[in-house]
Amino acid sequence: MSPPAADRISIDAKPNGVAIRASDDAIFVTDDRRNVILWSHNHATFARYADVREAPGQPNSLSAITVTPSGELLVARFGFGEAGALFISTSSGDMQPLTGLAPERRRLGLASIGPGRVLSSWFVKAKGVPSTAGISLVSYDPATHAAGERDLVAGLAKPVGVAVRGDTLFVADQDGNVVLRYSLAALLAAPAPVTADQGTVFARVEHPDLLAIDKGGALYTKCGASGLCRIAPDGTVTSIANDFRNARGIAIDEAKHALYVVDRASASPATGSAIRILPLAPAN
């Protein structure tokens, strides 16, 4: 199947994360302007899907969004050290917080790894206290929204993107300018969190952000101020675009062989933002 004919979808929003639901090809986007999830079923226009609870006194700060294997949406709220949270949506108009999670964790990336389990990247920063950052496993009940959290990786700088393929976990550590690789099975089996340096440096990328991975094992992420890069399964980094205003979330539509990339306008209120559509390179 050929890539979509359009190469961009304008969006009246301040977008960050993006996800595609394979069952109906719907696109979901987090919008920091109105603190909502927008969706498009026709890949041309966006409408409100669900509102996310605001944190009083804070700017809106929605991060990644992901679709679980059973079709639920999970959304991260950054929270600025006071209201970090994960939310779950099982239908249009419904968005509930997962309970029992530490609000001081500034939430960024998400990767669903099966029913009731999602990986969350986060960092904690407080005045006069050294920052901490890591990757955790959040286990949750979709019906009651109760959740628990177990740290898997500690000692990262600023982990933003997370992606999983098979037994491999990839982490984009933004302040370290690297993408790290870990064995997910080993992390889950370890009695305590492993340290960041126990991972393998898979690629060096300037200021990586949210991650996406295709079925061939290639990664995609922001690189530099205006770039988007592909990281091949052997770790080779290639620039595939260098004209983004601010690349954020990335979603992959394998059926259409396309990348859907948030291009967020920098000027407030981000007028001119778009979802850009790029052809997906053939697997090596």
What share of the chain in percent tops pLDDT 90? 88
d(CA 204, CA 200): 11
Ordered by where they begin, the domains of the chain are: 13-218 (2.120.10.30)
Per-residue model confidence (pLDDT) at position 129: 77
Q: What is the mean pLDDT of residues 171-177?
A: 97
Nearest to 159 by CA among 117, 204, 213, 196: 196
Amino acid code (one letter) for 98: L
The answer on pLDDT for 139 being more than 70 is yes
Helix (H, G, I), strand (E, B) or coil at 9: strand
Q: Tokens 């059973």 sit at which residue?
A: 70
Measure Cα distances from 229 to 32, 216, 235, 281 in Å.
24, 16, 11, 12
Between 267 and 149, name the one with better pLDDT. 149
pLDDT for 212 beyond 90: yes
Mean pLDDT score across all residues of the chain: 93
Q: What is the pLDDT of residues 81-116, one digit of tens each?
A: 999 999 999 999 999 999 999 999 999 999 999 999
Lowest pLDDT segment from 9-18, 159-168, 274-283 = 274-283
Q: Can you tell me the mean pLDDT for 24-47? A: 95
Report the distance separating Cα 204 and Cα 227, nearest Å.
14
Mean local confidence (pLDDT), 239-257: 94
Q: Binning pLDDT at 50, 70 and 90, where does residue 128 land?
A: confident
Give pLDDT, residue 3. 40
Cβ pair 108, 172 in contact under 8 A = no
What are the pLDDT digits (tens) for 181-207? 999 999 999 999 999 999 999 999 999
Q: What is the pLDDT of residue 271?
A: 73
User: Would you state the pLDDT for residue 5?
Assistant: 45
Mean pLDDT of 52-64: 92
Q: Does 283 have pLDDT greater than 80?
A: no
pLDDT higher at 2 or 268: 268
Enter the pTM of the model.
0.94
